[in-house]
Structure 1
C-alpha cells in the first residue's frame, strides 16, 4: 500500500514537471515572437512622446531584430554549453530588466537601447525553447511540446499586433513593453520547476572567433536590409552593410572549417532535413510578416479602422493557427512530413492570395475571416513541422545550435522578405495596389519555399508533432 502511494506521488511529480516544461516551451517562444510585432501599432505614440525622427523611429523595431537575429546562433550554442536551465533563467532576467527600462524610458535613445538588449535576451530564449522540445525522451510528450512550440511562434506574432493596438489605445505605449514582465515571471516559475537541475551543459570551449564573426555578419546583413528599405538599395549604408556581411560570413565559414570546437558543426547544413526546413522556414516567415504588416496597413489606411480594433481583427488568425497545428500530425502521418510541409505552404500561399483580394470597403467575412483562416492554417501547420524536421536526428550536443539556425533562418526570412515586399509595395502610387502587390509577392515566396521543400527534404515517415496518438 505504501509502495503504491509512493509510486502515485512520484508519478504526480513527474506529471507536474512535464506540465511546467510544456509551459516553459510555450512561454519562451510566445514571448520572443510576440515582441517582434508588439510595438508596431504603438510606434506613432512613441514618436509623439519621445520625439523620434522618422529615421530614428524605425530603430525601435530594427534594434530588436538586429540583435535577436545576430546573436541567435551564439545563443543556441551557449545553451548547449551552459545548459538550458541557466541560459533560460539568464535570458528571462535580462529580458525583464530591458522591458522595465524600455517601459520607463524618458528618451528615444534609452528605448532603442532597451529594445536591443531585449533582442540579445531573446537570442538566448528562442533556441532554448526548441532545444528543450528536441531533447524530450518521451515521444508523446515531445509531440505535444512541439505543437505548443509551433503554436506559440505563430500565435505570438499575431497576438502581439492585437495587444499593440489595445494597450496603446486603452493605456499607453509604455504598456506594450511592461506587459512582458508578468509573462516573464510566469515563465521563470515554470522554468525553475520544469527544466531539470541536471541540465548543466557540457565542458567545451566556446568558439569565440566564430561567435564574433557570425554575430557581426548576421547583424550587418539585417542592418543592410533595413537600410536598403529605408534609404534605397544603392545607398552607401545598404551597400556597405551587404559587403561587410559577405566578408564576415565568409570569414566565419573559414573559421568553422578549421576550428577544433566549431560554433556550428560543418556537417549540420549538409543534412537535407536541416537545409530544407531552414529554406522553407525562411520563406514562410517572409509570408507571415507580409500578412501581418500589409493587413494592418490596409485595415487602417484603406478601411480607416482605428488602431485598437485593427489589433482585435487579428484574433481569427490566432484561432486558426491552432487548427493548422491540430491537423499537422494527422496529415504528416498520411502523406509524410515532406508532402505535408509542401501542402501547408501552398495553403498559406492561397491565403495570401485571398488577402490580395481584400475589398475596398470594410468586409469582415471576405476581407478578414476567410483569408486569415486559410493563411493561419497553412502557417500554423507548416511552422510546427519545420521545428520537428529541422531538429530530427541532430546530436543532443548540437541541438541548441540547430535550434539557433532554424530560428535565425526564420528571423532573416522575415526581415529580408518584408524589406523586399515593402520596397515593391512602395513603388505603387495607390496604397491599396501596393498592398495587394505585397500580398501576391508574399504568396509567390511561399510557393518557392514549398517547391524547395519538395526538392530537398528527404522522403521519410512522418515526424512527431502535436496530435500524436498518445
Structure 2
C-alpha cells in the first residue's frame, strides 16, 4: 500500500524503498561534494600529464566550482518547474558523462571543458536531490533524519575525497578519480528510475539571463586575475577580461532587479545579518580553497609526499572541523552567532598566518599540522554559524533561496579567491625566481651556466624554493581574507537571539 507524498501530489514509497531512495540521493551528494576535494590530491599528476602551468592548474578547480556555484540556483528552479526526478536524472547523467570525458582527456582544454560540464550536472542534480527529500519524506522527525543524513554526507565528502583521491592516484592513475564516478552514476540513474517517483511541477519562470550573465561574468573576472599573474596587469587580454566582467556582472544586477522571478533575490541582501553572512562566507571560502590547493602542491612537490600520504595528511583537518562544529552547535544557543563567527574567523586567520612561515626546510609535523588544526577548528565554528544565520529571520518560502545563495557564494567565492591567490603566488614565485637566477649565475660553474641558458631550468632545490616562496605569499593574502571575514563579523553581524531560538526551536538559555 502506498500513501500520499507530502509535497508532490503523487505517491511515495513505503519505508524500505524510502531508505533506498535516501541512499541514492545521498550517494549523488557525496559524489558531487567529493569531486571538489578529490581533484586536489591529483593536481601535481594532472599538471605533469597534461602540461599545465601552475597558474592554469587552478582552472581544474575553478571550471567545476564556477559552473556549479553559478548555476546552482537555476538548477534548483529547473526541478520545481520541469519535475524534480526528471531534472535529477538529467543532472546525474550529465555529471556521469562529463566524468568519463574528464578521465579520457588528452589536452588541458578537454579536461577544463569536461570539468565545466561536471559543474553543470552537479548544479542541476544537487539541489533537486535536496528537494526530492522534502518530497519523499514526511515533515517532522522522518524528514529531519533524512536531512541529517544528507548534511552528514556533505560534511564528510571532503575527507572521503582526500583519502579516496590519494588511493586512486597512487594505486591506479589520476584518471581514475573521474572514472570512479561512472559506475556510481549509472547505478544512481537505475535506482532513481526504480525507487523515486516524479514530483508535481510548479509554475514558474527561468531566469536564464541572470544565470548566464553571473556565471560568465565570474569566469571573466577569474580569468582576468589568473592572466594578470602570468602576463602582468597591463596585458591587453587581462584588461579586456576585467572589462567584460564589469559589463556582465553589471548586467546581472540589472536583470535581477527587473526580473519577476530572479535567480538571486536581491532583497535577501537587505538584512544586514544575512548580507554580512554572505560576505564572510565569500572571504572564508576564498581562503579555504587556497589552503587546500597550495598545501597539496607543497606536500607533494616540496615535501615529496605520495598521493596517499597527501590524502592522509589532510584528514586531521576534516576531523577537527567535525569536532568544532559540534562544539559550535552547543555554544550558539548560549552565546549567539556573532561570538562564534568572530572566534572562528580569527582562528582561521591565525592558522593561515602560521602557514605563511613555511619554507623548504619545514616538516609536516613541525610546520603544517599545527596551523591546519587551528584553521580547521575555526572553520567548524564558521560552517555552523553561517548556515544558521543564512536562514534566520527568513520566511519559510524563501529559506531555500537563502541557503542556496550561501552555497553559491561558497563555490563562487572559492573560485574567485583561488584566482586572486594564484595571481599573488605567481608574482611571489616569479620575484623569487629572478633573485635565485641572479644568485645562481653568480656562483654557478661554466657548465651549469651553459645548461641553464639552454633549458632555462633551475636546479631542483632552487625550483622548490621558488614554489615555497610563492605559496607563502599566497598564505599571507589568505590570512588577510580570513581577517577581513572577522572584521565583517565584528562590524556587521547583529545577533538576534529571538530569531536564533525560533529557528532552533529552543527557549533562550538562562
Name the TM-score, length of structure 1 as normaliser.
0.82
**1:281, CA displacement in angstroms?**
0.8
- Correspondence for 1:437 among 473, 490, 499: 473
1:405 matched to 2:405: yes
Residue 173 of structure 1, CA deviation: 1.6
Moved more, 121-130 or 329-338: 121-130
**Structure 1 position 127, deviation (Å):** 4.1
The structure-2 alpha-carbon separation of the partners of 1:446 and 1:47, relative to structure 1 and needing over 3 Å to count, comes to closer
Match of 1:460 in 2: 496
The gaps in structure 2 that reach 5 residues or longer are: 1-12, 433-464
Q: Which has the higher contact order (CA 8 A, sep 6+)?
A: 1
Distance 2:299 2:162 in 1: 13
Deviation sequence 1:30-59 (CA, Å, 0-9, x none): 433322343344345445555668887654
- Alignment: residue pair count: 454
Give RMSD over aligned pairs. Answer: 3.7
The structure with the larger Rg is 2
Secondary structure of 2:266's counterpart equals: coil
Q: 1:435 to 1:255 in 2, by over 3 A?
A: closer
Whether contact under 8 Å (2:359, 2:468) holds in the other structure is no
| 1:126 positional shift | 4.3
Q: CA deviation at 1:345?
A: 1.9
Partner of 2:387: 387
Report Cα offsets for 1:237-284 as digits up to 9, x if no partner: 332222212212222222232223333333122133431221111111
Q: CA deviation at 1:176?
A: 0.9
- 8 Å CA contact 2:69, 2:410 repeated in 1: no
Normalised by the length of structure 2, the TM-score is 0.76
* Cα contact 1:289–1:414 (8 A) shared by 2: yes
Which moved further from structure 2: 241-250 or 169-178?
Answer: 241-250
SS of aligned partner of 1:42: helix
Structure 1 Cα separation of the partners of residues 309 and 296 of structure 2: 10
Assess, with a 3 A threshold, how the Cα gap between structure 1 residues 188 and 337 changes in structure 2: closer, same or farther: farther
1:290 maps to 290
**Structure 1 pair 361/158, CA: closer, same or farther in 2 (3 Å)?**
farther
Counterpart residue number, 1:175: 176
Task: For residue 194 of structure 1, report the CA deviation from its aligned partner.
Answer: 9.0
Residues 194 and 411 from structure 1, CA distance in 2 versus in 1: closer, same or farther, beyond 3 angstroms? farther
CA shift at 1:329, angstroms?
Answer: 1.1
Q: Which runs of 5+ in 1 are unaligned?
A: 1-11
Residues 61 and 415, structure 2, Cα contact 8 Å, conserved in 1: no
Deviations 1:287-323 (A, max 9, x none): 2122212222222343233333222211111222211
Contact persistence 1:66–1:219 (CA under 8 A): yes
- What aligned pairs does 1:330-341 form with structure 2 within 5 A after superposition? 330-341=330-341
Distance 1:346 1:130 in 2: 32
1:53-452 paired onto structure 2 within 5 Å:
59-82=59-82, 84-106=84-106, 108-128=108-128, 152-153=153-154, 155-184=156-185, 197=197, 199-358=199-358, 360-361=360-361, 363-395=363-395, 397-426=397-426, 427-428=428-429, 429=432, 430=465, 431-452=467-488
**CA offsets, 1:426-454, max 9 Å, x none?**
31514434433322332221121122133
8 Å Cα contact 1:63-1:119 kept in structure 2: yes
Cα deviation for residue 415 of structure 1 reads 1.7
